[in-house]
Amino acid sequence: MRSDAVSLLHFDFCLLPLPVQLTQLSIDTARSAVQERKTTALALAEAHYARIQKEDGQIGAFLTLCKERALEQADRIDRMAAEGKPLPPLGGVPIAIKDVISTRGVRTTAGSKILGNYVPPYDCTAVARMEAAGAVVLGKTNCDEFAMGSSNENSAFHPVRNPRDLNRVPGGSSGGSAAAVAADMAVVALGSDTGGSIRQPASFCGVVGFMPTYGRVSRYGLIAFASSLDHIGPLAKTVKDAAIVLRTIAGRDSMDSTSADVPVPDYVAELEKPVRGLKLGVAKEYFGDGLDDEVRHAVESAIDKFKSLGCEVLPVSLPHTPYAIPTYYLIATAEASSNLARYDGVRYGHRAPGVNSLSEMYRRSRDEGFGAEVKRRIMLGTYALSAGYYDAYYLKAQKVRSLVARDFEEAFRKVDAIVTPTSPTAAFRLGAKSNDPLAMYLADIYTVTADLAGIPGISVPCGETREKLPIGLQILGKHFDEATVLRLAQAYEQAV
């Protein structure tokens, strides 16, 4: 692999100076550099592969690289630029894809041994749309097994380490995607969010993470965890980059019956609208016991910044928030139990060798293929759905979910968006919560509510602790009003 400097010499016109290293470009600057022939898509891809080779041995963000696919796409973009054709919105931009998102011809494991050798025959819709827009897929990023986790320690292959402190977790389950962006190993990445799995890693790694409204982005090709909660969304270095990616992947898809037929605005153009006069809600339920003092101070300072930008800050109440964690872990595990029943060793995935009966093959294949956390959630979900317990657990959780959603509906009658901490703490140390599942589950206490309600949310960096660990500010919006959430995040990002 070439170093950044050698890549710049690949063509004579690449000698033109760039303001930063090739691995530190935004979407716009990367695309413009290729369009204006200051560099090439090939040079960008190889610079990022060199960065991965240098840094990822310690971080562990990637599980599979697809260099041949990346360089073929880069070559197509370079030929367009050489012919003077206008490049598509992501022309030449190196990206990473979370390993629960299907990629044709590229190993997709969901971080699990049971899919250790699975190679999908098709692309996820979001991936297809990114490549159609010119993006260069570098590879697949590590994650908690089947996206079940808050620390990226549940991967069947190896944990991911936080680029800001290698002794700490990057968050989960999209920890590999967040770490890849934070460590300049990709310009942007796709992740998935079921209970906070985009926003919490973004907070821990100091990047932007956006979860769109449920149904805004097609889930076709996303390996299912909890089908009524799963979202695909971007992790990026800037709010504008997140808006560009969302504009690319959003919209109705005939392959996903849950994708919404709702017009997609130009999110990038919406960023330029002023935020003065917008009403922001602050819920006391998100500022109670368990919130770290440094996180509280950083988020309160961010709220003051919004006031200085002309926003009106109002108190709101989300009274069913204390029930969100138990509600989430009943619904999510029940749906996981159903979705993961397909991994039986019959059609694809791991099959235990040397078995003498069908029932033994099922039992051994699943026992060998699934990790401890996945087994725990399958058992919890199966119990919640079992005869005699369905009404007491799963059905009651769905009723409480409706109450959580109603809380947000009531609040959004008064305000345009709600601001909260993304996580009650900054990144914790590797192993600190591995043996305490309940403590790990509580790391998602401020993020699961948005998944339950199906509303959009973003995490944007809002400061650091004394130990230089990033802190995230969460902004939640109304259904299909991603534009307002992004506009507020952009205004804050520019102000600080």
Q: Report the catalytic residues.
A: 98, 173, 197
Nearest to 456 by CA among 217, 276, 255, 201: 217
Instruction: Collect all residues with Cβ–Cβ distance below 8 Å to 126 and sequence separation of at least 6.
Output: 101, 190, 217, 218, 221, 222, 232, 249
Amino acid at 461: P
**How many Å apart are CA 236 and CA 244, to the nearest integer?**
10
Nearest to 459 by CA among 142, 106, 171, 217: 171
**How many Å apart are CA 82 and CA 64, to the nearest integer?**
30
Task: Tell me the pairing of strands 208-211 and 457-464.
Answer: antiparallel
Nearest to 157 by CA among 226, 222, 62: 62
Residue 19's φ and ψ, nearest 5 degrees, are: -70, -25
Asked if residues 193 and 174 have their Cβ atoms less than 8 Å apart, the reply is yes
Q: Give yes or no for a cis peptide into 434 (omega within 30° of 0).
A: no
Bridge partner list, 33: none
Gyration radius from the chain CA atoms: 22
Q: How far is CA 160 from CA 22, 199, 471, in A?
A: 24, 16, 19
Compute the Cα dihedral for 372, 377, 383, 386 and give only its sign. negative
**How many Å apart are CA 335 and CA 219, to the nearest integer?**
15
Nearest to 191 by CA among 141, 228, 148: 141
Report helix, strand and coil shares of the chain as percent, to nearest 5. 45, 15, 40
